Amino acid sequence: MTDRYAVIGNPIAQSKSPLIHSAFAQVTGQDIDYGKLLGPLGEFVAVVDAFRASGGRGLNVTAPFKLDAFAYATDLALSAQMAGAVNAMKFEGDKVYAENFDGVGLVRDVVHNLGCPLQGRRVLILGAGGATRGALLPLLAEQPAELVIVNRTVAKAHELVALANQHQTGEVPVLGLGYVALQGQAFDVVLNATSSSLTAELPPLPASVFTPGCLAYDLTYGKGLTPFLKLAQQVGVTQVADGVGMLAEQAAEAFAWWRGVRPDTAAVIAQLTLPLV
């Protein structure tokens, strides 16, 4: 019997999730049907209830419903609690299990696909929103020398420092700073988790944060060479990447959670990757 899954969002026509999961199903031999659900604003619960009633087994969740999914879940994984948002759900009877795989997808892309180990390296992440919240524990699990969170509102960065220190099992130093405090500092990995690239803006970032051999990574994907990545290139950074690999890796985590088999992501990443120009 074919099991049904889908992605829910508004808008949803642009979603690559059906392409990704259909490819995963083909290479792993899983019998699934994966579609798109357009959720009218304010009707998330009704749409998900109907999907479950029709036999749906699980959902990916995209904007603007990640907080609705958080409230809908009966069992929240630590990843979802840390992020304060949900991007994958699994339905088993009356139970709604919820996860957020964005952070682990980011780290897997950086470490495994891009060959950039984080252990012992200075890592800077821009922004103190949900993307950064969800990435904290996966990043800290890699044992970097230091994790610095920078944000325009420094108090929000400090909140994430407290959250990280409350949950991390190691002793990685975590700092929260404003952009001005970055002057004179340099990092091995710089991650842009702000929404600036969606509007082609550049965070107020001193170019000195990039060492020539560092990785500059923009969590936004499909926007080409964003102002953040352009700045990195201008100061000699040769390894720049956008978030397409993160997209594929978080999808693979959800697929493995649902189906018990983890697909290889290389072919999907190659298919979705656009030149950074």
Active site residues: 66
In our burial notation (b when 16+ CB lie closer than 10 A, e otherwise), range 89-106 reads: bbbeeeebbbbbbbbbbb
Closest to 14 measured CA to CA, from 63, 59, 58, 70? 63
Name the one residue in this structure whose structure tokens are 């964005």. Answer: 102
Name the one residue in this structure whose structure tokens are 């012992």. Answer: 120
In our burial notation (b when 16+ CB lie closer than 10 A, e otherwise), range 145-172 reads: eebbbbbeebebbbbbbebbeeebeeeb
DSSP state of 30: -
